[in-house]
Structure 1
């Protein structure tokens, strides 16, 4: 009978990934498999065998945690979803929008209304990636804001980043379309300015420490680098090319902590966050500490998009819609889509989801960069397996 170890090990054996950690939990039952190694076999320096507590770059799996941090501020009464963000982000006082998505960046009209907190949370503020990356207003997101694959040591500090953002026109009017990624980085700046402390400090205080997520953050401490995995990209001859070593870009705190994709974490830390969401905002451990209100969790995990907005982004949303900071499955279009499932996928080869209807948690961590928005077969096989447990 095929088990989780078998599913993952097949992809290690054929060279698809150096290693992987998979976790499937429901209630008190948790199945975990750690296979392969933390890097390419025979590499120098030698990397450790993969373990349950191996640390991974989770990329866009950061987004739900950033959204949760925003919602703690809503719970505290320091923000409302309808608040215009200009109060804390004055750089966005007078946003302009390209006349059409195809227009040059200097052919603009004023935004029809202010950008709100809710616009940032549900990725409908007007900034971000559409299905067509060739549009003129998309190019500055990559070239000036470094919105491509995460490279934390190459992004300027938040005030400089926001000043650059203010010079880039919106691609769509606020509220009009779902656009990927950029709004989660803006959320990170918003959190820091409202809270009066850095994003890493606030996330640690309000999310990570209450949930016991000791290995989650924007950098790996020196003493834990032995558990940190390598990060790889597919090479043309069929092999894997090293993108970042354990002592590379995540070995020091970044100037710009990316709420969109800058975190590292482990399978058990992600399980703790997932169980908090399944518990309606209450820590799933014996302590039972409340981290979020039940209403904030409901808002995060509820579909926010119209059918037309979902259909505009087929590269990113495969049978999914969007809540706050993560996708919400809206149709069983494939075996891995379960209506109501919430979570997201990271471009460094990671994924974490909850299924509220069954109380299930699924976490898959690999070190291979996704080749594009299409879900790799390893992830699909993992979800199929998890759905059958």
Structure 2
């Protein structure tokens, strides 16, 4: 593998000021290489190292998917169980007549929300990128998805969310993110254990991922949000992740190292996951045609959302993709995918937020593809 070209690309992006710092981890043909570049802060002197943890943002979601499937494997929860057993706040949800309706214009849910709905993002609640009354109400109540974990504790957050109607009938639409955070609350209640302990016991511990968790004692890079004037601080080094989380978020609450994320996706690729979880279940595409069409409005064409809470490529739409490629990207500037046909796992962690769908790591993925193909 021509890792030099890939590492040079990221070095050049750091030199150009796109990223203050970054870490790349690549596994190919049984060999893993890790490359760190840049500094922890703009203008700072402390270097990024291979052991530097980054805010994983939505790259957290596949970890939550594996955790959920481990509890399915031992019978603690079932994929088709009504979530009201553990989330009684959602026992009788109301649903908007259409997603843009007034909050009082609702009907009863036609069927319960299931655990499967939370994993595949079909629970009826999620990201709304519009000016609808529900979008405004979610923002005002502090339950709208964002780059930082919810500021309310899990019980308060669920109560605030459940007081609002769903945007879609359960199982009929596809809405990003919120299902993952509901899933985290459900799993902790079902297991009777704090979510950080549960994840460590069932996923990160057995896989030896010592640099991944809901908080860290190691120096974190400063998290930046791009603006017209440059990079503004979103979360300082001693910010949200330097203390125990108020809300341990399976939607985007983990910090971790590039090597850990690479090893995690490698475990999926090798079907070497803990607690009875099978890679085939993680990568199962359980969406119906209409659900997949709704998901592709967000994911892009040729992709689907697999049961393990990650993106799965179904057909080639970009020159660096192949059918069967899986992984995900986080809004804080993180991206991680496995391409089984190329025997490739690659991870790029940065501290620069993406500004939108056209501000992503496409150059990185093209270079990673070219380095092995």
TM-score scaled by structure 1?
0.90
One of 86, 89, 92 as aligned partner of 1:88: 86
Q: Alpha-carbon deviation of 1:312?
A: 3.1
Matched, 1:219 2:221: no
| Contact 1:182–1:260 (CA under 8 A) maintained in structure 2 | yes
Once residues 266 and 142 of structure 1 are traced to their aligned partners in structure 2, the CA distance between those partners, rounded to angstroms, is 31
Once residues 208 and 231 of structure 2 are traced to their aligned partners in structure 1, the CA distance between those partners, rounded to angstroms, is 34
Matched, 1:236 2:228: yes
Once residues 306 and 168 of structure 1 are traced to their aligned partners in structure 2, the CA distance between those partners, rounded to angstroms, is 26
- In the other structure, the counterpart of 1:128 is 126
- In the other structure, the counterpart of 2:347 is 363
- 3-state DSSP class of the match of 2:240? coil
Once residues 115 and 47 of structure 1 are traced to their aligned partners in structure 2, the CA distance between those partners, rounded to angstroms, is 50
May I ask how many residue pairs the two structures share in their alignment? 367
Once residues 134 and 110 of structure 2 are traced to their aligned partners in structure 1, the CA distance between those partners, rounded to angstroms, is 18
Once residues 307 and 8 of structure 1 are traced to their aligned partners in structure 2, the CA distance between those partners, rounded to angstroms, is 38
Alignment of 1:128-207 (within 5 A): 128-130=126-128, 132-152=129-149, 155-207=151-203
| Contact 1:68–1:292 (CA under 8 A) maintained in structure 2 | no
Flag the 1:271–1:61 CA change in 2: closer, same or farther, 3 A.
Answer: same
Matched, 1:328 2:325: no
- 3-state DSSP class of the match of 2:225? strand
Alignment of 1:21-60 (within 5 A): 21-41=23-43, 46-60=44-58
Q: Deviations over 1:77-102 (max 9, x none)?
A: 11111111111111110011001112
Q: Alpha-carbon deviation of 1:150?
A: 3.1
Flag the 1:128–1:98 CA change in 2: closer, same or farther, 3 A.
Answer: same
Q: Deviations over 1:333-374 (max 9, x none)?
A: 1123221111111010001112233432111101001102x0
Q: Alpha-carbon deviation of 1:314?
A: 4.9
| Contact 1:138–1:171 (CA under 8 A) maintained in structure 2 | no
Once residues 179 and 299 of structure 2 are traced to their aligned partners in structure 1, the CA distance between those partners, rounded to angstroms, is 17
Matched, 1:246 2:237: yes
- In the other structure, the counterpart of 2:286 is 304
Q: Deviations over 1:129-177 (max 9, x none)?
A: 25x422222223332134332334x611111111111101100001111
| Contact 1:155–1:255 (CA under 8 A) maintained in structure 2 | yes
Q: Alpha-carbon deviation of 1:51?
A: 1.4
| Contact 1:98–1:137 (CA under 8 A) maintained in structure 2 | no
TM-score scaled by structure 2?
0.93
Alignment of 1:56-71 (within 5 A): 56-71=54-69
Flag the 1:314–1:82 CA change in 2: closer, same or farther, 3 A.
Answer: closer
Q: Alpha-carbon deviation of 1:375?
A: 4.7
| Contact 2:26–2:262 (CA under 8 A) maintained in structure 1 | no
- 3-state DSSP class of the match of 2:298? coil
| Contact 1:281–1:291 (CA under 8 A) maintained in structure 2 | no
Matched, 1:109 2:93: no
Flag the 1:66–1:165 CA change in 2: closer, same or farther, 3 A.
Answer: same
Q: Deviations over 1:294-325 (max 9, x none)?
A: 2xx21221223344434434553123210121
| Contact 2:135–2:144 (CA under 8 A) maintained in structure 1 | no
| Contact 2:73–2:275 (CA under 8 A) maintained in structure 1 | no
Matched, 1:260 2:257: no
| Contact 2:269–2:340 (CA under 8 A) maintained in structure 1 | yes
Q: Alpha-carbon deviation of 1:248?
A: 1.2
Q: Alpha-carbon deviation of 1:220?
A: 1.3
- 3-state DSSP class of the match of 1:316? helix
